[in-house]
Structure 1
Amino acid sequence: MDLTYDGRALVLEDTLVVADCHVGRGTGGELEFPVGSGSEMVERFRDLVERHEPDEVVVAGDLLHSFQTVPRTVETTVAGLRAVCRESGARLVVTPGNHDTMLDSVWDGPVEREYRVGDTLVLHGHEAPEGDADRYVVGHDHPTIEIEGQRRPCYLVGEGQYRGSEVVMLPSFNKLNAGVRVNTMSAGEFQSPLVTDADSLAPVVWDEHARETKAFPPLGEFRRLL
């Protein structure tokens, strides 16, 4: 199954996957910015859905950011994401993450611990999967790569990473998440138990200006070039 990388999302055949929306982050205090959440997130989501016309969209965990309260702006944003899918005819599914403790207060749609797309399982990645698959698509760690002093959100792709299967880790869909700098990280420093060999993870960076992906060597080799 071919993968298409686009705008912090991933396309698997007729399925669009995003991870770590963290809706609600930046709703108050010093984190009140015009990017990363709210209408800006919904518009980026709409662009992806209109461009790829998926049959279904899967949120790979941490749709929400809040652990204890859900501001009204969060309800509005989640309703906006739902409306985009409804208008396009796509089914929206959520695989809960560790931040989604209040999910049922804003979401009454399909919820799956892990969601199968052909030979791939989509899940948040904060816990070990129950099912077997040739590929696991996860989020959770918010990977970024630093190149020439600039940090960029990245996907991480590793063959034979977990139970002999490939793991693809998505960057955070929420631009307010600074992410973790993976340049020098070992497997034990990742929060996801699906990362077992950091050196074999190959970064893939989406270039928003050129609207194309740039693939780099696995971290074990890439570190020597940085």
Structure 2
Amino acid sequence: MLQAAFRDRAVYLRDADALVLADLHVGRAEASDVDAPLGEADELADRLGALLDRFSPSTAVFAGDLLHEFDRASARAERALGSLAEACRDAGATPVAVRGNHDTVLDSAWDGRVHDAHALAGQDRRIVVRHGHESPPPSERADLYVVGHDHPTIPIEGQRRPCALYQPGVDGDGTPVLVLPAFSRVAAGVDVSGMRTDEFLSPLVRDADALRPIVFDGDDSLSFPPLGEFRAML
């Protein structure tokens, strides 16, 4: 059973007392040649602050792609990351950065250690947070993986909505996977409703038909049938 609360493109894992969000892509608006919301850093900080107030987690894990640009972190992006980490500490949460494929220079922009993976101790299970762009080593033990990377969305009534995807253990592998949407509202989302398994970027997605979409709807979340059944409803 997934002991989790979903809100604003993030997840609070109750048994680990941890807030997890992925794919912030700080600097995306700054680097864009198209219209983008002004005040990207303030918008991210305000939304993170609301989540910290709502759940009061002991840990806040940023599950990769904190930065958007691969080869540089502007002074503005570094200040934005610093503000996010400070917001966590002010709320009593330990900020943890997990490296994504965009985060090649994150070590120089993040005040603290950058992890390839971070394990959370749940009450009766070991939860491992990764970005999801690489396969975990065979020696790594996890009862649940929480990842990002694919930026999932699904269409509902003609509107593309960000969603999480929950995959139970499949193909002889009993480890469930939770894929989070991009926390950034600037980064493009990907319509996963018609995607095959080999079209997902994360190697942790092993059966697209088994993925259950969970749509964020204000204070609530809506759970849908697995994609293999959901496609017939579209």
TM-score range (shorter-chain normalised) is over 0.9
Match of 2:112 in 1: 109
* Matches of 1:36 and 1:8, distance apart in 2: 19
Question: 1:135, CA displacement in angstroms?
Answer: 0.9
Question: 1:32, CA displacement in angstroms?
Answer: 4.8
Give the superposed CA RMSD. Answer: 1.5
Give unmatched runs, 5+ long, in structure 2.
none
Contact 1:35/1:175 (8 A) holds in 2: no
- 1:74-107 deviation per Cα after TM superposition (whole angstroms, max 9, x unaligned): 0121111011012112111111000000102211
Q: Which structure 2 residues correspond to residues 181-196 of structure 1 after superposition, within 5 A?
A: 181-196=191-206
Question: 1:161, CA displacement in angstroms?
Answer: 4.1
Give unmatched runs, 5+ long, in structure 1.
none
Match of 2:94 in 1: 91
Contact 1:15/1:57 (8 A) holds in 2: yes
Query: Given the alignment, which residue of 221, 226, 232 partners 1:218?
Result: 226
Contact 2:163/2:216 (8 A) holds in 1: yes
Question: 1:33, CA displacement in angstroms?
Answer: 2.2
* Matches of 2:133 and 2:156, distance apart in 1: 27
Question: 1:156, CA displacement in angstroms?
Answer: 0.2
* Number of aligned positions between the proteins: 224
Percent of aligned positions with the same letter in both sequences?
A: 47
Q: Which structure 2 residues correspond to residues 16-165 of structure 1 after superposition, within 5 A?
A: 16-34=19-37, 37-118=40-121, 119-130=126-137, 131-161=140-170, 163-165=173-175
Q: Give the TM-score of the pair, scaled to structure 2.
A: 0.91
Where has structure 1 moved over 3 Å in runs of 4 or more? none
Q: Give the TM-score of the pair, scaled to structure 1.
A: 0.94
Contact 1:36/1:174 (8 A) holds in 2: no
